[in-house]
Amino acid sequence: MFTKRTLTRVRPSSVRLDSSNPNPQGYWKGGVQLVALNQQTPGAMLDLHRGRFSQNGGCGYVLRPAVMRDEVSYFSAHTHGCVPGVPPQTLRIKVISAHNLPKPQGSGAKGEVIDPYVVLELHGVPADCAEQRTRTAAQNQDDPLFDETFEFQVNMPELALLRFVVLDDDYIGDDFIGQFSVAFECLQPGYRNVPLLGLAGDPLPHTSLFVHIVITNRRGGGKAQRKGLSVRRGGRRGREYVSLRQTGIKVVDEVFKQANGPLKEGTDLREDAQSSTATFKEQCGLPAVAKLKQCIQSLATRLQCPEGTMGATMVLREGYPCLEPLISLPEATRKVLAAYDTMIAAQKQLIGNADGVQERIDQVYREGMDFHEDFPRLGEKEGLKGRKLNKAVESFTWNITVLKGQSDLLRGAKMDSLDALRQLALACEACGLTSSSSSFSSAELHYTAHPTSGRRSSNGRI
């Protein structure tokens, strides 16, 4: 990509007759570092610009995604599918209500009430661009209730922007009430108040949207499924594994062939941990988006005996929090404990084997990168020219991107597992599932407070 090695700046055309702004998103996803806009011209384009650079403390600098910085990476600004090495996300937003909505500018002569509705715009690569809206809250004055849920699929989270727009359905002319634009990376799960801004970007006093945000991987989320419809249904037989492409150069393909085994192992480790966790939540009667602490709280209520004691206790085995039954338990509760044991075993497998599998993937990545400089010469030596050589280069780039992405995914999965086990241990202690004789300190845990691979920015968030 040209912009990997060249600092590029674009600005509105000097031959225009007005001060309109281009869509900066198109240039950002193309790798352009500096996109100048007319700050005196309000509108959606300037809203997106301000939303993007509210990240990183509003300092004016936002780091591009790694796939756009790496020397060798497979990425197209016009992609209509998943980006190799980038885990897709599912965004669910429940627009609950709005508060203290003003009337649109210039509407002083109309009635006493407004008919507001909310538009949710997702901006990003073509595969992510989407727009949805709520119903109109007719005659609902300035505190309308919407209570509607929307879902968006996000293939390139680091380039995505979400824009909330509140409009008046009953006003002829400028129906704009307020908006707020935020980078996807800054969205925080849970119940949130979204402050609304006016047309010029100034805050509207005491005006906000009340929403609930859930962000999961592509397979997670949703309501608790009925028995028999869990994520275990397909098992490993129905699992999709990432595959590398043939370049047509024998020596290169032999190197990439070594990655097939560790790539499959890494996928199994990650998917087994995810599916066992989802099954445990399902057995607890909770949705897949529930926190593990909620699952332990639900389990603790089932384990509580009439006399107030617990029917099971948590013990540390090799540093992992295991639950041992103390009395004979009902079959339904035994199934929950069995699902818990399966989850702990899957997390243990992931934590114990992730480093070794990741090192094998990284080794193939390093050996593959050794061919980078000489790849065109190797292709010509194999008789590849023109379109065939370009196709081989594309396949090589795809493979390098996949290897790096899968390595990063495995590293992140291990960190998430370490954090999940720590949460489980603390939740068990908080719910009284540890006796005074089996109390533990953080030093006894196999896992310590590792910093999680936070995908959220600490600034500009909601």
User: Long-range CB contacts (< 8 A, 24+ apart) of 290-297?
Assistant: 291/423, 292/420, 292/423, 292/424, 292/427, 293/423, 293/426, 293/427, 293/430, 296/424, 296/427, 296/428, 296/431, 296/433, 297/427, 297/431
Which pLDDT score, from 0 to 100, does residue 94 have? 96
Provide mean pLDDT across the span 184-201: 93
Whether the Cβ atoms of residue 46 and residue 449 lie closer than 8 Å to each other: no
Whether the Cβ atoms of residue 292 and residue 345 lie closer than 8 Å to each other: no
Q: Which phi and psi (to 5°) does residue 22 adopt?
A: -80, 170
What is the C-alpha separation between 382 and 389, in angstroms, rounded? 10
What confidence category does residue 462 fall into, taking pLDDT thresholds of 50, 70 and 90?
A: confident
For 284-374, where are the alpha helices, taking DSSP H only?
A: 292-303, 331-369
Portion of the chain with pLDDT greater than 70, in percent: 86
Burial class for 392, CB neighbours closer than 10 Å (0-12, 13-18, 19+): buried
pLDDT digits over 207-228, tens only? 999 999 999 875 433 333 333 3
What is the C-alpha separation between 347 and 280, in angstroms, rounded? 13
Pairwise pLDDT comparison (352 vs 448), residue with the higher score = 352
Whole-structure pTM value? 0.77
What confidence category does residue 147 fall into, taking pLDDT thresholds of 50, 70 and 90?
A: very high
pLDDT digits over 443-454, tens only? 455 554 444 444
The gap from C-alpha 73 to its chain's centroid, in whole angstroms, comes to 20
- Sheet bearing 130-133, strands edge to edge: 130-133, 116-123, 161-168, 176-183, 190-197, 203-217, 89-99, 145-154
List the structure tokens of 335: 């199934």
pLDDT digits over 255-277, tens only? 999 999 999 999 999 999 999 99
Q: Which of 199, 226, 93 is nearest to 148 (CA)?
A: 93
Q: For 350, which DSSP code?
A: H
Mean pLDDT of all residues belonging to the chain: 85
Which pLDDT score, from 0 to 100, does residue 450 have? 45
pLDDT digits over 398-418, tens only? 999 999 999 999 999 999 999
Instruction: Please state which CATH number belongs to domain 89-217.
Output: 2.60.40.150
Provide mean pLDDT across the span 81-98: 89
Provide mean pLDDT across the span 333-352: 94
Instruction: Give start-end residues of each CATH 2.60.40.150 domain in the chain.
Output: 89-217
Provide mean pLDDT across the span 28-51: 90
Q: Which of 47, 54, 49 is nearest to 165 (CA)?
A: 47
